[in-house]
Structure 1
Amino acid sequence: MTIDDIISRCATLPAADIAKGVNRTLDENNSLVVTAPPGAGKSTLLPLTIMAGTAAGKIMMLEPRRLAARQIAERMAEILGEPVGKTVGYRVRFESRVSEATRIEVVTEGVFLRMLVDDPTLDGVSVVIFDEFHERSINSDLALALVRQSQTLLRDDLRLVLMSATIDATSLCNTLHAPLVESQGRMFPVEVVHADDDTIAMASSRRNADIPLAVARMVSRAHRESDGDILVFLPGQAEIQKVTDLLGDSLLPTVVMPLYGNLSPEAQHRAIAPSAGGKRKVVLATPVAETSITIEGVRVVVDAGLCRRPVFNARSGLSHLDTVAISKDMMTQRTGRAGRVAAGTCYRLWTVATENQLADQRRPEIEEADLAPMLLQVAAFGERDILSLPWITPPSAGSVGKAQHLLKLLGAVDADGKITAIGKQMAAMPCHPRVARMILGCRTKEMRSLACDIAAILEEKDPLTAEESADITIRIGVLRSCRSKRNVGRWQRIAMISREYQRMTGATEDNAAIDADDAGLLIAYAYPERVAMATDDVGGYKLASGDNASLSVTDALSASKWIAVASLYSQSNGGRIYLAAPVDVEQMQTTSLDNVSWNSKEGMVVMRREQRIGKLIVGSKPIHDADKDRVVEIVCDAVRKDGLSMLDWSDDVARLQNRVAAVAAWHPDMELPDISTPHLMQTAGSWLPMYLVEGSRVMTSVTEMKKLDLRDIIWATIPYDKQQEIDRLAPEYVVVPTGSRIRIDYRQGSAAPVVSVRLQECFGMTETPTVDDGRQPLLMELLSPGFKPVQLTQDLANFWRETYFDVRKELKRRYPKHCWPDNPLDAKAVKK
């Protein structure tokens, strides 16, 4: 079929106007950006015309969702008048409709990544189309980076096409060095009706229970006020079910239909198919209906303004889905769904004021997602330096480091980041590396079957509630019971996914009773950092990662001392455990660690050999053969923090410090060492170690270290020649006429060194004693016989001449039995 034949069959689609231009541009460029409004036909018409024109080989077209991949492939096959799986086919997780004749494969991004890892050259592929690239999923960003790398190094003939309805095309074109082709589309006008209050604000304040009620009321209003089918955007499956229940039969004969990814293909087709003549329907959809999927007959959109986004907590390594406000580009796309076939109306559940505060564009998922799956795919591709890839938005180095740590923990990559043998097997599986590691780590068929059941339960919405119990073994038991009776009911999709994993791994269906500890052991394979030990708080647990989490105190599982946690909602004050299983810690692989550390409370080095799971201590015993150098290092580190309480900082030490500080102030050129207490504590590692070792043993307690003569140790840190200078310039004592050696007090903050001496011992002393080679007179603090200060002077001669006689009167009155001579310079000095 020629390009003209295809265009003629789709002449009503706006994209028909640019189809030939797209081919001409691709003939001259290896990359192209195409923008077109929703419903223009870019996803169905353009791939067909590229196949008929530019592409000599196969076309791979990436879609962010399974539902869109199926519908687009079916629509293209319908245009060609063929069944799906002939010229046009699709591949999604656990489902494939392709043949040797297939030239256009519509695939989900995850499926394409595994194909790219298997064959980095993309042999036989001429064009790779990234549809709805504005969604900026992490898989889409990674696939583009790897294809560009392959295009640069291996396949310069490979063509890239990025298609979107709403995106910053200028920035994208500049990054890719690609031209832009735009389709103007043929949209009908859409009237926008805003609500009087904000559902978005309700969601941000965690009043999510109010959202379905507000939506149901707006749907009823839209049904009354407008004609045509109604498309309702809700954040998730739970809200869809609640709105369905609230509407009930109130809109009859209008039919209410759900639309989300986990529905059966038959139910999805019913929701998408045109309404029967004269009848109306309301489609309650997740954001899956924003783009790519076309629902004929929609003239009204009701938009809750919310979506779910995975949020990754880099601190804990855990992810959870948050309900958040949409961005303006998402708002525009949703509104456009009401104006495809005729003039329409969009009812928005938020105010104009709130609309002005919405972000212009959604954030690329790579900025906040778990990067472990992405890094494993990159390693399998053969690239170790992930940051060197040609990213549109590069991942942060911190997030990359966290993901690399997890992959090493799982054994998927080695210390150098090179993929291991088991890592290659993990990369080939359509699941998170954690789940792949759990399944591949099984040694028996029974354990592998159990792992497949656990994987299916973890990947799908929990049919039970955590309020009943967080014990995953209860879910496994119900699944196996339903399966054995061939009545799976709401467990149907979980049973199907388990069956697919069994097929891939050679396991068989097993409906026997399980050992709960086996389930816990498998979960520990997948989440080694989430093995948890009960704390003293009822329902409280500490994870191997060091984080805290809790179970409901009424949950029977909280009686288990050790559990392995499979699902956890992380919060700043500790996580909430949703799925877990008891685990026999004796079956767990532990690491041995010699914990040599300073215990401030006990005032000593504690030395124990611990068996650990992450940061959890399974068992320990004292050791006595710790490395001496390590013990010394630990003691010195402790001195830096607790040195004031560990060593004897006596008055003699303080006097030495003050004396040296005085000389340093008088003579900066001497460059005396800093022996202040803060400096000595911080530099303990340079002066203390030699005094801690006594033969073959090391001092390990405060009791022992308090016995050290710290004054002599500090004095020894000063070179000998400078010690002599200090002694000469700042002697410790001055000798008075009685022969007494009176200590000189080099006080901090004092203008001069102080000598406190009884006045009677100074009789006959004519001159004030000095230090610093006579440059610094001492401050004489003259004392009474009762050692009370009576006079301060730095001029002793003047004191005898003028002041002594006034002082003598008072002293003679108070101490009449003492000798108070008329001429103190000729009197004999006395001690008593």
Structure 2
Amino acid sequence: MTRQIDIHKITERSGNLPASLVAERLNDLLLSHDSLVVTAPPGAGKSTLLPLTMLAGGVSEGKILMLEPRRVAARHIASRMSDILEENVGGTVGYRVRFENRVSSDTQIEVLTEGILTRMVVSDPTLDGIGVVVFDEFHERSINSDLALALVRQVQSVLRPDLKIVVMSATIDAEKICDTLDAPLVECEGRMFPVTIRYAQDDIEPRDAARTTCQAVIEAYKKEEGDILAFLPGQGEIERCREILSASQSLEGATVVPLYGNLSPSEQQRAIAPSKEGERKVVLATPIAETSLTIEGVRTVVDTGLYRKPVFNPRTGLTHLEVTTVSRDMAEQRAGRAGRVAEGTCMRLWTKAAETHMEEHRHAEIEDADLAPMLLSIASFGETDIMSMPWLTLPPRRNVANAHALLVMLGAITDDGVVTPTGKRMAALPCHPRIARMILGAGSDKMRALACDIAALLEEKDPMADSGSSDMALRISVLRRMRKNGKPGGWTRISKIAAEYRRMVRVDEDNTDVVPSEVGQLVCFAYPERIAMAIDKIGTYRLSNGKEVRIDGKDDITAHEWIVVASMYDGAGTTGRVFLAAPIDKEDIDESMLIRRDNVSWDSRQGRLVAQREWRVGKLTLNSQPIQDIDEEQAVDIVCEAMKKDGLSMLDWSDDDVARLQRRVAQVAQWHPELMLPDVSTEHLMQTAAEWLPLYLREGGKLRTSSAELKKLNLSEMIWNIIPYEQQKEIDEIAPTHIQVPTGSKIRIDYRQGAEVPVLSVRLQECFGMDSTPCVDRGRRPLLMELLSPGFKPVQLTSDLASFWQNAYFEVRSELRRRYPKHYWPDNPLEAEAVRGVKRKQ
């Protein structure tokens, strides 16, 4: 049962307690509990309340770390708290985000993003000097927040029982989190104004998001007061909407500003800052404005109900963005932005009916995200059993396995999940393990500077996405030319990130000409499984992981036989589409990526054993040469294994003697199962070749390694030798191969497949004087005699020869005398002399 505490009621009963006394109450709770869960209505402004009150109450001598899911929110909240304290950022309150640090020795509250905390825990698992960790906006359930919470809980349970955890959110499944953390729930009602919700007549189409939003914004501008905040899926839709509104005459006097993550801090601050008196502002934002940020003056929210969600495909190992529908808690969070300063309106661009089909809460990102960065952080933390971590939501095992395989391939962890020295260095860099591996793979200052440029290009939106070229070297050349001229233009963001990476690895800016193969050489470190070889002349390549990809045949990069693919889309078909790639010289591929393999195998098409020493990257062969000194035992094993599949073409099974022997042995096994004769059927012999074939593969110091040589073997003799000598004698007695007839001829007995009785096919004339049917199985089983004419045509079947002489013979004789008048056909065949050919009549 969750213990629920209403801070609003505590305040009311105490007569509007000052913040310091509320802090005292909260501090009391933290002293008696390891963790707290705090909720407040959307937009209630509780983000600054708890850290400040905890600071005032002095719950811990250590610092307070406050985690935010986004950089812009971290900067904004640190600035707002500093304003409340009438201090500059970096004093009592500071922030740390990727590539930016505003803290000092006086800082007691650090606002930071989850990735920063993860690296802090990895570098110092005790979190020395930290008293409280606050997870703000936890309802977003980013993979970094889940990882950070799991690591901090592990630290709390093993090393720091005095460490306090506070989870804060406006819309969250509080019951589950309280149960997991064994924490009381603290509810802060806040002061919110009512928000009127209006629904559209028709559901929005994602492709029309910009146009539909513009229409709603214009309507709101005419009918409502105050500023307008519109939520769109991403930067592309924002820029299209901004163009339409800027060209419209309907927003006269309004300022239209964008708000998304790729903007500079100054541009983001322009969107957040209050409007000047008498002015109105329209903010076009991504979900970055859903939480944490307070945009003063917003009275109307226009919500498309759409956002771009990163989705990881475990089959391809790629993450891509998909436009999808928000959950109901996200919609509630967005609507709350309109009720901060006065009564507001939220225009939802979907129908009331459509809302009933929305998910109630968003899914945790850990369920379908790329887990490689998370797994590397955990390995660097010292944990190898990821599933034993105190997760709020368990990561999918399949995705964990894919991440593990990638990190092993990059050399970051061992097969057992233990971090390697290279992995430790990778984890210290604030980037994806692929990018970190590429930077660490650069062997000189020049190559490190190039790696920094490539890293920045890979992490940001491609400025040349519509150029028709996938060549990364071309992009780096453009970046360097623009940077050298001091006018980076659309490359500004990429240039700044490259500069941050150069600062970390301590190299200077390099704007010299780019060697395309050096770009490919570095990208190989990040994407070894995407090294690719051309398989035709029209832009089809095979990746080292075996998959095929296509590049437009007009793209100049198709002139290269070998490339490495950095960005691609893997659709529903079998062939992927390449967006970014770089040429490589196969000789420049790092030796750590190559596998030397002695490929000794049976080639079915050539019908022989082949032996090649190959140097491979994944499934691609870079070089090969014949192996002269084949290990004989290995070769014998491979030939015997090949027999299971290609045995019919490797030996001469068509030999009649082989088939007769197999039928004879099978007949005896059917009559006398107690003899337990070996199975000499073709299928069984092929599957068990390793038990009988090796003895015959060597001849005069030479190994038989081709079908041509193997077919020269006497297969029937080899099969007969499989049977032990005592059983051979039994078979010969029970089922002889021949029967001697009165002429002295030895006639072969035909043991037919599936027949109960063996057949003796013999010319009738050779049986004159034979008074009874010959038998096998030691006299138990008479043969079925197929009596033939002088021309070897069947004339009679009988298993009772005596009865034949007495009855049917005379009818047969009449016909034979007509057809073979020169032959002797006696009246009394039992007393006549048996003959092989023509005998004069008597």
TM-score, normalisation: structure 2: 0.90
Matched, 1:319 2:324: no
1:778 aligns with 2:783: yes
> For residues 763-783 of structure 1, what are the alpha-carbon distances to aligned partners after superposition, in whole Å with 9 as ceiling and x for unaligned?
333333333344443333333
Residue number in structure 1 paired with 2:840: none
- Which of 208, 228, 237 does residue 235 from structure 2 map onto? 237
Distance 1:677-1:224 versus aligned 2 partners, 3 A rule: farther
Show the 5 A alignment for 1:406-555.
406-414=406-414, 416-465=416-465, 467-555=467-555
1:568-627 deviation per Cα after TM superposition (whole angstroms, max 9, x unaligned): 223342222222222232333343332222222211222222233333222222221122
Task: Give the secondary-structure state (helix, strand or coil) at the position aligned to 2:722.
Answer: coil
Aligned match of 1:216? 214
The aligned amino acid for 1:566 is A
In the TM superposition, residue 508 of structure 1 has moved relative to its aligned partner by 0.8
SS in 2 for 1:579: strand
Question: In the TM superposition, what is the alpha-carbon distance from 1:107 to its structure 2 partner?
Answer: 0.9
Q: CA distance change for structure 1 residues 766 and 41 in 2, over 3 Å: closer, same or farther? A: farther
Cα deviation code 1:131-161 (max 9, x no counterpart): 2223222222222222222122111111222
Q: State the one-letter code of the partner of 1:287.
A: P
Q: Compute the displacement of 1:654 (Å).
A: 2.4
Deviation string, structure 1 residues 544-578 (Cα, Å, up to 9, x no partner): 22222222211112212222322222334222222
Matched residues in 2 for 1:488 and 1:267: separation?
17
Whole-angstrom CA distance in 1 between matches of 2:338 and 2:810: 111
How many residue pairs were aligned? 819
- Given that 2:22 and 2:53 are in contact with CA atoms closer than 8 Å, whether structure 1 keeps it comes out as no
Q: Which moved more, 1:350-359 or 1:811-820?
A: 350-359
2:172 matches 1:167: yes
Call closer, same or farther: CA 1:100–1:715 in 2, change over 3 Å. Answer: same
Q: Residue in 2 aligned with 1:101? A: 106
Task: Name 1:639's counterpart in structure 2.
Answer: 643
**Alpha carbons of 1:576 and 1:467: their partners in 2 closer, same or farther (altered >3 Å)?**
farther
Q: Do the aligned residues in 1 keep the contact of 2:410 with 2:437 (CA within 8 Å)?
A: yes
Please say if residues 199 and 350 of structure 1, whose CA atoms lie closer than 8 Å, have aligned partners that are also in contact: no
CA distance in 2, matches of 1:696, 1:152: 69
Equivalent of residue 247 in structure 1, options 240, 245, 248? 245
Q: Which letter maps to 1:239?
A: E
Distance 1:766 1:534, change over 3 A: same
Which has the larger displacement, 234-243 or 408-417? 408-417
Aligned residue type for 1:283? V
Is residue 620 of structure 1 aligned with residue 618 of structure 2?
no
In the aligned structure 1, how far is the partner of 2:689 from the partner of 2:516?
53
Deviations 1:153-173 (A, max 9, x none): 111111222223333333333
Residues 1:767 and 1:530: Cα distance change in structure 2 (over 3 Å): same
Aligned pair in 2 of structure 1 residues 601, 306: CA closer, same or farther (>3 Å)?
A: farther
Identity of aligned residues (%): 59
Instruction: Give the alignment partner of residue 199 of structure 1, picking from 199, 205, 213.
Output: 205
- Structure-2 separation of matches of 1:174 and 1:694: 76
3-state SS in 1 of match to 2:443: coil
Sort the Cα spacing of 1:767 and 1:550 in 2 relative to 1 into closer, same or farther, 3 A.
Answer: same
Moved beyond 6 Å, runs of 4+: 15-21
Contact preservation (8 Å) 1:188, 1:341: no
Q: Equivalents in 1 of 2:169, 2:467: separation in Å?
A: 42
RMSD: 3.0
- Tell me which of 737, 742, 747 is aligned to 2:747: 742
Q: Is the 8 A contact 2:221 2:251 kept in 1?
A: no
| Residue of 30, 36, 41 corresponding to 1:37 | 41
Q: Deviations over 1:250-293 (max 9, x none)?
A: 24133322111111112212222333445433322112122222
> 8 Å contact 2:70–2:288 — kept in the other structure?
yes
Partner residue of 2:394?
394
Q: Pick which of 39-48 and 182-191 moved more.
A: 182-191
Q: Give, as a single letter, the amino acid of the residue that structure 2 aligns with 1:724.
A: K
- Aligned residue for 2:182? 177
TM-aligned CA deviation for residue 197 of structure 1: 4.3
CA deviations on 1:689-734 (whole Å, 9 max, x unpaired) are: 3322335432221111122222222232333333333333333333
Per-residue CA distance 1:35-77 (angstroms, 9 max, x = gap): 3332123322122223333333212122221112112222222
Cα pair 2:43 2:333 within 8 Å, conserved: no
Q: After alignment, is 113-122 or 593-602 more displaced?
A: 593-602
| Alpha-carbon spacing, 1:449–1:755, altered in 2? closer, same or farther (3 Å) | same
1:717, 1:327 → 2: CA distance?
Answer: 72
1:221: how far off? 4.5
Structure-2 change in CA distance of 1:790 and 1:196 (3 Å): farther
Question: Which residue, 52, 65, 69 being the options, matches 2:56?
Answer: 52
Q: 1:828 to 1:540 in 2, by over 3 A?
A: same
Q: Report SS of the residue matched to 1:275.
A: coil
Give the direction of change, closer, same or farther, for the CA distance of 1:520–1:829 in structure 2 (3 Å limit): same
Residue identity opposite 1:579 in structure 2: L
Q: Give the stretch that moved more between structures: 211-220 or 611-620.
A: 211-220
SS in 2 for 1:716: helix
CA contact (8 A) 1:198 1:354 kept: no
Secondary structure, in 3 states, of the residue corresponding to 1:820? coil
- From 677, 682, 689, the counterpart of 1:684: 689
Q: Kindly state the Cα deviation for residue 338 of structure 1 after the two structures are TM-superposed.
A: 4.2
Unmatched 5+ stretches in structure 1? 201-207
Bigger mean CA offset, 424-433 vs 772-781: 772-781
Gaps of 5+ in 2: 1-6, 838-842
Q: Deviations over 1:421-449 (max 9, x none)?
A: 33222211111122222222223222221
Which residue identity is paired with 1:216? C
Q: Which amino acid aligns with 1:193?
A: Y
The 8 Å contact of residues 303 and 349 in structure 2, kept in 1 or not, is answered as yes
* 1:593–1:231 distance in 2 versus 1, CA, 3 Å: same
Counterpart code for 1:675: V
AA in 2 matched with 1:609: R
Secondary structure of residue in 1 paired with 2:821: coil
- The residue identity in structure 1 corresponding to 2:52 is L
Residue pairs, 1:135-174, within 5 angstroms:
135-174=140-179
For each residue in 1:446-505, what CA deviation from the matched residue of structure 2 results, as whole angstroms up to 9, or x when unmatched? 222121111111111111125332112222222222222222222221111111111111
Instruction: Answer yes or no: is the 8 Å Cα contact 1:598–1:638 preserved in 2.
Output: yes
Aligned mates of 1:342, 1:794 — CA distance in 2:
112
**Cα 1:742–1:547 shift into 2, 3 Å:** same
Deviation at 1:122, TM superposition (A): 0.5
Between the aligned partners of 1:68 and 1:419, the Cα distance in structure 2 is 33
1:205 aligned residue: none
The aligned counterpart of 1:720 is: 725
* CA positional deviation for 1:114: 0.9
1:609 to 610, 613, 619: 613
Asked whether the 8 Å contact 2:201–2:350 carries over to 1, the reply is yes
Query: What pairs with 1:351-366 in structure 2 (closer than 5 Å)?
Result: 355-366=355-366
Sort the Cα spacing of 1:529 and 1:788 in 2 relative to 1 into closer, same or farther, 3 A: same
More deviation in 121-130 or 793-802? 793-802
User: Cα–Cα, structure 1 residues 827 and 404, in superposed 2: closer, same or farther, change >3 Å?
Assistant: same
Note closer, same or farther for the CA distance 1:553–1:225 as it changes in structure 2 (3 Å cut): farther
In structure 1, the residue matched to 2:3 is none
**Cα distance, 1:522 vs. partner?**
1.6
